Structure 1
Amino acid sequence: MKGRTILLDHLQGRETAVLMVDGALDDILIETDQPAPGTIYRARAERPVKGQGGMFLATPDGRAFLRQVKGLSAGSTLLVQVTGYAEPGKAMPVTQRLLFKSRYAIVTPDAPGLNISRVIRDEEERDRLLEVAHDVFDAEPFGLILRSACAGADVEEIAEDITAMSGLARQIMDDAEGEVERLLDGDGPHLLAWRDWSEPADIVTDAGCLEDHGALEAIDAARSHRVALSGGASFFVEPTRALVAVDVNTGPDTSMAAGLKANLATAKALPRALRVRGLGGQITLDLAPMPKKDRRAFEAALRAAFRSDPTETALVGWTPLGHYELQRKRARLPLAEVIR
């Protein structure tokens, strides 16, 4: 099946959104029991953690941890936003730099100014979007980012989105005083799919559509550690408590270029493999043997593969043992923890 299909359904009683590209599972969002990234709290500072340069905060949903707390004293109230999911036994990661995201606009209360996504390069389109933004946002004290989905979008829809997000930002920012409270829930999977999967796609909302479109089999395959590559090569993605280990195998290919071919194929497939499994943190690649002169080609392939991945990932580099390391934001809970 060619093209992009977005499936909005429920899996094991949890709201679920699945993106299929050319019949393959490209992304999956599943509702969890933890506060979703984007949730905003009025929190209370409890105690600093000097060794970690941060402070624990009290929220209605448990402890949160905030870095860079210069000038903040115990007992103070402040607005914070959840940035990711907590590791087992750890506090929720939060930030004071609030973002109000929608399909077309991101309002940034702490960063004034008007910006347009660099993906939009056409000058006429950028001028059109600037005109819309100035018409509806000039009186606001906040910053505004127009997202790539604005390209070619209806003017009224963009204006409505900007107005809604700026109004929400004003409401939250004016509500900083009081007891600890959850002020805004993070977006659920269906809303996130509408917000972030903005490229043209067929959208299916029928109950049972995950099964009807083969998504359940694809999700079950994503729960396996093994990822098959062309020519019989493969790699294994195995999370441990400390890191995610990726082991590359050449399979039956015994040619001189087998290692390089398997490594390049791994670079191309790795972002999707990590994304659908919900894996982040420190990632160590144990690559197939290849000459050192081929490392640049592998690095270029890896950069190209992660360029379009929505999750922030730092390509750290080579270790003395010849492994390659990445550092990836924990934007989701592991798939294996969400569904059983």
Structure 2
Amino acid sequence: MKGRMIVLDHVAGREAAALLVDGKLQDLLVDDDSAPRPSAIFRAVCDRPLKGQGGMILRLPEGETAFLRQGKGLAPGQTILVQVTGYADDGKAVPVTDRVLFKSRYAIVTPGKPGINVSRQIKDDEIRERVLACAHEVGVTDGFGLILRSSCADAADEDIIEDIAAMDTLASAIMADTAGPVEALTDGDGPHALAWREWVEPATVITESGGFENHGVLDQIENLRSAQVGLGGGAFMYVEPTRALVAVDVNTGGDTSPAATLKANLAAASALPRALRLRGLGGQIVIDPAPMSKAHRKQIEAALRGALKSDAIDTALVGWTPLGHFELQRKRERLPLAPLLDAVLS
């Protein structure tokens, strides 16, 4: 099928969402209850400071621990509100921030940061004025700020106003709920809610049971068990997570032409964001490109930067190593898919 399609379904009892473009799987969200979801909000208790790091270990419900990077001014036993920012490595505390945000499809309410801002991606002055008028019409609680997302550009005024009001009401209730024992105040968005919130471009939405099977999603998920990713022209790369990092090995395959290595490396740069996104991989990414001249490095960096620009997960280009590897640092917004596949497809 041509065009964009969002399929909302369940696999092995787990909520899941898939984004297809021209029939090809571009993004995949599978729920997992083994760790707190990113954006979940907790009332936490400070446990102990980490000397030399400036951070604080916090207590969460059910014996979980969290790590707050900026713990200055906090004391053991103090209760604070925190929000999960990503998934932790095995055996490590859940990463959290005390800068709580309330994010929806059109608006982000920012307690403690007053002011109204419009996404820079909205460049048309008339549209900016229109969405600002919506924000001023509904308003937010004193001391709260508001960010109007790029999705507002194509949204109806009443939808924007309703979204702002709902987020402001939620934020007001949560931010006032500071007293009491450790507790989960929000669970964070599951795959279906995330799909509605983040996949905002026009698409056909499939909600009936069995959608994954009917539209070939299960077959494409099964293919993700392999670390090999085809790059065209016989070239391929392996994307393999280890305990310390994600290794990406680029190969030209049977192509022995003079331009083979550059073509393979450029194709790998273009395909890498999707490969990482679908496999739920983050942290340190180390790319071992096919052997090439140093003169081509700027082309590879530009290709990577361009490919990552449209990727929703924050990824920093770190640079080249003395051995000729290229390093990335990617936010851990998702759990690795491989363990989920074992549970979902076994």
Report the TM range for the smaller structure's normalisation: over 0.9
Match of 1:94 among 82, 96, 117: 96
Question: In 2, distance between residues paired with 1:115 and 1:51?
Answer: 36
Once the 2 structures are TM-superposed, how far is the Cα of residue 139 of structure 1 from its aligned partner? 5.4
Residue 54 of structure 1 deviates from its aligned partner by 1.1
Instruction: Give the superposition deviation at 1:148.
Output: 1.1
Q: 1:271 aligns with which of 270, 273, 286?
A: 273
Task: Output the CA distance in 2 between the equivalents of 1:2 and 1:297.
Answer: 31
Shift of 1:278: 0.1
Q: Which residue of 2 aligns with 1:11?
A: 11
Kindly indicate whether residue 192 of structure 2 is the aligned counterpart of residue 190 of structure 1. yes
The answer to whether structure 1 residue 23 and structure 2 residue 31 are counterparts is no
Normalised by the length of structure 1, the TM-score is: 0.98
**TM-superposed deviation, 1:223:** 2.0
Give the aligned partner of residue 160 of structure 2: 158
TM-score (ref. length: structure 2)? 0.97
Match status 1:305 vs 2:307: yes
Output one character per residue of 1:161-203: Cα deviation in whole Å (capped at 9) or x when no partner. 0000011111011111221111111011000000000000000
What is the aligned length? 340
Opposite residue 278 of structure 1, the aligned amino acid is G
Give SS of 2:76's match: coil
The aligned counterpart of 1:293 is 295
Q: Distance in 2 between matches of 1:209 and 1:315?
A: 37
The question of 1:317 aligning with 2:300 is answered no
* 1:12–1:339 Cα contact (<8 Å) kept: no
Q: Deviations over 1:205-246 (max 9, x none)?
A: 010100100000111112210000110100000000000000
SS state at 2:213 partner: helix
Matched, 1:49 2:50: yes
Q: Which runs of 4+ in 1 moved over 4 A?
A: none
Cα offset for 1:154? 0.7
Task: Note the C-alpha offset of 1:338.
Answer: 1.8
The DSSP-based 3-state class of the residue aligned with 1:52 is coil
Identity over aligned pairs, percent: 64
Distance 2:245 2:292 in 1: 24
CA deviations over 1:28-81 (Å, ceiling 9, x no partner):
111111211111111000001114331111111411111111000101000000
Amino acid at match of 2:41: I
Shift of 1:110: 2.7
Structure-2 residue corresponding to 1:58: 59
More displaced 10-residue stretch of structure 1: 160-169 or 52-61: 52-61
Pairing partner for 2:330 from 305, 321, 328: 328
Q: How far 1:138 sits from its partner (Å)?
A: 5.6
**What is the alpha-carbon root mean square deviation over aligned residues?**
0.9
Q: Matched residues in 2 for 1:26 and 1:199: separation?
A: 13
Matching residue's letter, 1:16: A
Quote how far apart the aligned CAs of 1:85 are.
Answer: 1.0
